Amino acid sequence: MVLPLLIVGVSIIVFGLTRIGGSPIGIYLSHEMNAEEVAELEEKFHLNDPVPVQYYYWASGVLTGDLGWSGVAAAPVTDVFPDKLAATMELAVASAIVAVSLGIGLGTFAGARRDRAPDHITRVVAISGAAMPLFWFAILMLIVFWVGLGWFPIGRSDPTIYGRIAHPTGLYTVDALLAGDMGAFRDAIWHLVLPAVTLGYGATAIIARMMRSSLVEELQEDYVDAARAKGLAERLVLRRHARRNALIPTVTVIGLSFGFLLQGTVVAEIIFRWPGLGRWMADSVLRGDQATIMAYVLFTSVLFLFVNLVVDVIYAYLDRRVVLGT
């Protein structure tokens, strides 16, 4: 019951805020329109009504699957949204894989070697990831790996490869696998590397830091000493006991990091020419495309709540003291 209320609350706040910036009519206008045509548009989109009435029309539309017209995409929001969403999710998931695998790996590696050189280096890497502005790091990656070395491309796919397979899911990696085309799969991965590593690096830093400190704490616990005392190999002490418990707070951070990744997709998509929600959103903000902005806000609110729900479930799995539903 709380979740729908939260979503409604967020949508009301954002709707109100977008209207403070002025009427959304600008996105629909062209200099060729006369005053009558402008008035017709205002009437069509209910822009002369009070803001609560406008919100009512927007919310009614959402319930019937109509998210409005995107002036930036020149198409209904619902037509464009699935493809953009697929592009963003593919990038966010790839980034999350990078962030989680590297973050947990590096955190474990550093935590197990506390205050020794590997620990210090890992911490430097982690802190630099968190400290570097994403847009700067992204440009740096492009200069080195695209312009300088020519190892990785920009964009989402090679157009010649894109055209040879069907795209039922809009996730190019999945589409390529469904089509059994390994060339297309490699191309999709190849295009994913730069944006995913760039985006994932910032989150890697946060996860690695959390994993390291949790692991260091866990390794000082009595049960670890007990495990060592009973003769368990250090590797097993680490994997079976300390790391599992150290993951509990880390998972919470991973959930929050997904929000960071979604937020980061805006910058990453703009710089890496990735045709996802983030870039669409940025264009929409700049051009005042309020229908798109509202759709994005609605989506991210729902997604964020869903991710937190998933985190709670995983939390319960990792920490047997937590019981869901109570």
Partner 1 sequence: MTAGKPGLRRWLAMILALAMIAAACTSADDEGGDTTAPSDDGTTETTAASGGDTDDGGDDATGDTGDSDIKNPGLLVHAADDEPLSLDPAGVEPGEGGETVILQVYERLLEIGPGGPELVPGLATEVPTVDNGLISADGLTYTFPIREGVTFHDGTPLTADDVKYSWDRVMTMSLPESAADVLNDIVAETAVIDDYTFEVTLQKASAAFLNTAVVGMVSSIVSQDAVEANGGIVEGEFNEFMQGNMVGTGPYELAAWNRGENLQLSVYDGYWGTPANLDVRIEIGSTPDVRVLGLRAGDYDTIEADPSFIGEIEGAEGVTIFGEGLTVEPIHIGFNLNIPEGALPEEDTIPTDFFWDPKVRQAFNHAFDYQAFIDGALGGFGDFNPHYIPQGIFGYDPNAPVYDAPDPDRAVELFTEAGYCPEGFTASVITEEANLFEVAALVMKDSLERLPCNITIRVLAVAEAQFDDAHAQDPIEYAMWVKNADPFADPHSYVSSYQHPDGEWGEVHGFANGYADPEAVAELIDAAEVELDPEARAQLYSELQFLLYDDPMWLIAGQEGVVAAYRSWVQGWTSNPLWPRPSIKFALMDK
Task: Tell whether residue 17 is a contact of partner 1 (CB under 8 A).
Answer: no
What is the C-alpha to C-alpha distance for residues 130 and 136, in angstroms, rounded to an integer? 12
The answer to whether residues 271 and 146 touch, using CB atoms and an 8 Å cutoff, is no
Query: Is position 326 an interface residue for partner 1 (rule: CB under 8 A)?
Result: no
Does 231 bind partner 1 (CB under 8 A)? Our answer is no
Q: What's 190's DSSP letter?
A: H
Binding window for partner 1 (CB under 8 A); candidates: 29-37, 92-100, 307-315, 317-325:
29-37
156 belongs to the binding site for partner 1 (CB under 8 A): yes
> CB under 8 A: which stretch of 126-134, 200-208, 210-218, 272-280 binds partner 1?
272-280
Q: Which of 84, 212, 241, 243 binds partner 1 (CB under 8 A)?
A: 84
**Which range touches partner 1 (CB under 8 A), out of 57-65, 72-80, 251-259, 314-322?**
72-80
119-138 residues in contact with partner 1 (CB under 8 A) are 121
- CA–CA distance, 91 with 93 (Å, rounded to integer): 6
Q: In Å, how far from its chain's centre is CA 194?
A: 15
Maximum distance among all Cα pairs of the chain, rounded to whole angstroms: 86
- How buried is 143 (Cβ within 10 angstroms: 0-12 exposed, 13-18 middle, 19+ buried)? exposed
Nearest to 284 by CA among 91, 14, 35, 9: 14
Dihedral (C-alpha) 39, 40, 41, 43: value to the nearest 10 degrees?
Answer: 90
CA atoms of 120 and 106, how far apart (whole Å):
11
Nearer to partner 1, 125 or 316 (CB): 125
Of 292, 211, 291, nearest to 253 by C-alpha is 211
Q: Give how many residues touch partner 1 by CB under 8 A.
A: 54
- Report if residue 38 touches partner 1, rule: CB under 8 A: yes
Q: Binding of partner 1 at residue 193 (CB under 8 A)? A: no
Nearer to partner 1, 255 or 269 (CB): 269
Of 153 and 259, CB closest to partner 1: 153
Q: Which span sits near partner 1 by CB under 8 A: 93-101, 250-258, 269-277, 303-311?
A: 269-277
* Binder among 118, 133, 168, 183 for partner 1 (CB under 8 A): 118
SS3 275: coil
Pick the closer one to partner 1 by CB: 5 or 149.
149
SS3 assignment, position 70: strand
CA-CA distance, 213 to 108, in Å (whole number)?
Answer: 9
Q: Which positions lie near partner 1, rule CB under 8 A?
A: 21-27, 29-35, 37-38, 73-74, 80, 83-84, 87, 113, 116-118, 121, 139, 142-144, 146-150, 153-157, 159, 162-163, 270-271, 273, 275, 279-280, 286-289
